Structure 1
Amino acid sequence: MTLRAVLIGAQTFNLTGVHADVEVMHRVLGKHGFTDIRARVEEEASYAGITQALRQLCRDTQHGDGVVVYFSGHGSLRGDLQYLVPVDIEQSTPTDFRGFLAAELTAMVRVLTRITPNVTCVLDCCHSGGAVRDAAHESGRWRLKSVTPAKVAHDDGLARAAALARRKAPLVPDVVRLTACQQHGSAFEAEVRPAAGRQGVFTAALADVLDTPAARQVPWSVLIARVRDRVKQQQMMQWPDAGGPSGRLPFSLEERSEPERLPLVRRDGRFIVPGGAVFGLDRKDSVRMVFPRDDPWREPTGREADESEEATVQATVDAMEGGDAVLRTPSEADALAGEVPLSAGLFTAELPPGSYALPLRVHDRRRVCVDGSGQLADALRRELAKSPRLAETHVGPVFATVLLHNGAATVLNRYGLPFREPLEATPSQVSRITGLLEDLARGDRVRALRDPENAALLSADVQVRFEIEAPAHGGVWRPLDAFGERLYDRDRYRVTVTNHSGEPRYFWVVGVGLSGRTALVTNDQPSGHRLEPHGAPHRSIRTTAPIRITWPQDVPRLGPRPETVHVLVGDGPMDMSVLTSVGPRRTAYATDPGLMPLLQEVWEACRDQAMEGAEEFHYCVHTVHADVLPRPREAGA
């Protein structure tokens, strides 16, 4: 068996990190045992070069081989025409379209899966979701990996796509698809590490997760969740995904029947989840340890629970030793008192075969660097160690840096801009600094809100239109792009929501401002603006009053700063003011049970496995992410 890979990097339209993506994937795949790695960059990443490389891969691959097809570059979606952007895209003519169609990639991958079922396709570009099917905005901080070349004729591309569609070939069932975003989503490249240059955010996160020995025993479905956490740390508004048989272990056909099962071992008298960091575990997270019923040291207690096939014990991550999670379990006294349906042998014997751990509450932490020393630094580190929502780090990307210098304490964002004016660097400021970090992290989690993945998702039967005022054109309102817009202090925007469904709908406008604070913009209707069903005589369409962007007085006038606007659309009234209150309203859990998963994500920064399937409230999220500059818009802009 040979592990083979084709790595394609098409660096076009102002992208600068594509070659770095190919290099890092080459290195990581080499560590995973790939011996036949073919990189295609520069002129080899043309339409003909990509086609030739994939055809040659199909010819060389043998039954039992493992294969990876990787692409980094721009992706494009023009109506129903979805394609990767080779380096020679601008040489297209009406009879020779140089875009590499998603349908063509699907056909190539289908050929590979007929030779070997061990195929993985990795796409780091915009609109990557759906490129292998199963059932040119720019900012100083990041670059969007999507482009629709204005001067490129798509005629031949449309004809080729139609011809491929007429074949009505079956979907590709065996390929593992790792994509930087969803089909209508966005992917970015950025300076992931200081002074390291630009790189694809998805590729960097994927490489970090794979670059550990424990990753070999972690299924893709779990690894991709960790990749999402890494992408969130970069404050990038994209959602990586894994499709196909994502329960497989990396680059193999081995598939776990329950992908969420984590390994559990006994070491020096303690329970350990080896490689727990890869699963996203850290201090104060909780797991459930599961032990087979037929273990030799289990003593019956006469309890009803003893009749089950498995016995369980809940544990908390007490410490991290390297990448391993050390668990804190109930004490032996609790076991002897009958609080745990296992004997005291639990704390002394080896684990029975088949024992495992299940994640219960895994927190989405924001990483903070404390740059300094002294009493204040020591006190801050102690507070960060107590928080399940923040964590100190000195390596990799950080959400914020607390700079202690010349008697001042300044909290900086990842671009080196201060969130607020400096504070006096004294121990008395510890609570104020940690409180600011918690507020900023909460706002960052709200900024990353997106459609729910489970049954809580509301069907797409509502149209949302964002518009920005154009003063230079007599106050005309123009569409506001979802990404890449540059706004200015005192600009105004508005939102129009139209209900096309046959049921009432409710909407809220939630803003995460350039200060990092979260506000319910539609605070006149905290339970939601009601939209009548489509065809009703009144209020099936609403436009908000103009909303002005203002630069807060406590934020230094340095920029640009991120501004995010969400429109949440739901199928019932909910008091969304809980998203922006000073602290979580526990009573909201009882009165609005459907909001619980959303509040858990925002306030407690955790994914609670026990809450799956408990939603009653259905919603979807429409979002605009922009950058705001600290000056008014010029008259001609």
Structure 2
Amino acid sequence: MRGQALILGCQTYGLTGVLGDARRVAEALGALGFDVTMCMGEEATRERILQLYRHLIARCAPDEAAFVYYAGHGAWAPEPGSGVQFIVPADFALSTEEDFRGITALELSALLEELTSRTRNVTVVLDCCFASRMFRGVDLVPRALPVVPLPVVCAHLKRLQAQGQALGGRHIESNPHAVRLVAAALDEQAYEYTNARGVRTGLLTDAFLEVLDEARGLRVSWGQLGRRIRERVLARCPQQRPELEGPERRLLFQLEELEHESSLAYYPERGHHWLRGGRLHGVREGDEYAVMPLGANGPDEARALAFARVLEVRGGSSRVALERRDSALVPTGAPAFPRRSQQPRRAVVLEGSWDAHAPLLSRLREALRTSFFVRQASMEERAPVLAHVRLGERGVDVLDSGLDGIVHPLPLTPSSVPGVLHVLEVLARAQALRELGDGGDSERFTQWLELEWGRVSARRAFPLPTTGASLHAGERVYVRLRARGHARLHVSVLDVGVGGAISLLNASQPSGMVLGSGRVETLGAGPDGTLVGLELEWPESTPRQDARPESLVVIASEFPVDLRLLGTSHSRLTRAPPVSLEQLMQSGGRDRYAVKHIRFWLDPRPLP
């Protein structure tokens, strides 16, 4: 593998494991074939780090793998509702009000955008945190500094803008071209500790190097790697929860992506076995999973380490009974793939004369028989019909329950069956998400959050009602959330598009935007706080006929939960959510959550 790596180690303010971490990461990347540049200790000043980052950008060839690693302190200059994060170079102590020596997240984002303009094959690992608080446990030292006055940082950013430097980049929510493994959530701590081998190291770096070594020679996605790292870190320190951002289906240090990414992570806790997925992921009691080795891309009876049957389902996790194969060791973070599901399947009607297309009909019926999500409707079907598959003159038409076309006609060949099934399963999962949890949780949502949404025009907000608004393709919208009370909440926003595709909008905080008392998060605001809006798109695959319903689903929980597996843009095999939250909402404790739907109409025609 040919690639370029920049390894940064800033061992300041009491940290003792940073230099060793940087050397170990450099050694691991060098063994993978990377050309490694190191910047450590006193050399790792603000100007030197920026200089070497620009050198990395300049020497990267198109599609060549690029890797950036930083270990050291992170810090946060907060203000009510927002703040600015930055890393701490070796000369940070020399900062003055006129000469700030930190490197802000806005500067790092601009550099990352330059790098991804040279190559899309980019990975960033940050073993630090941007915490506003410090927490000390036995043998744990946080890689975060106390807060820094915001005016000092803002003055620094204004000076950079006056010099014409780009800040933040053009990506509103998150750079979609780079994989980013970060040590902790926005307001959480990242720690260093002494591991079982007596090495002083960051928890994230230690787990990253362990799992990277396990993945050597395997076809492993960053999603699998990230989930395994997360479980390793949580097992050692429950206060730290690493996050993976960006294209999680991408194979390690490559641009190739897996067709789907559907596994849940296994982990043991307090004498029980668990999967990191619950009601929000569509897990149901009685579901069965195959727990597989790292690198597996689906369930395989012969290679399975264990089989898991779901006994209890919570909001973001499920307790399982584990049946090991041949006393196999089941490592924390092993991927678990669904084998059997208790989820109700939605009815699909087959219409038209299929006599001349018997092979196509046979394959389509078999696909419907084995699907987790849809089934062929019976002649006496009384259940609500999800969709119609109609044999037409131009091909196979897939129509929704209102007989509106979902996709352009597909060819009349057996090879079209996977495409037809994909459309139907996307519709099924979209419908389930649209039905998610209306009713009893609305009051709880109001108690937890203030919600505002609307269109963006000329960088101004124009609020809209949460039901019945009409918008046009190409318009931009925002969602603004403010926490009430003192609860710490994790909030995710999913878009259910006119064709049924589900997308997680909070890509920069995939386990939920963290909201504390009075904190404000605005989806659609640029890195500098300017209101830009998220563009509403009409998918090319959906016929441009009349206006169709689209919706945003806002999920607030008292626990972090990664909902990327609900996305359907490229996936057929991930799980759908349940149709009711009544049982969950009656339970208390840490698994409480609430749901709010924003329902509107989208017209395919641009604004006049």
TM-score range (shorter-chain normalised) is 0.3 to 0.5
Specify which structure has the bigger relative contact order, considering alpha-carbon pairs within 8 angstroms and separated by 6 or more residues: 2
Normalising by structure 2, what TM-score?
Answer: 0.46
Greater C-alpha radius of gyration: 1
Normalising by structure 1, what TM-score?
Answer: 0.44
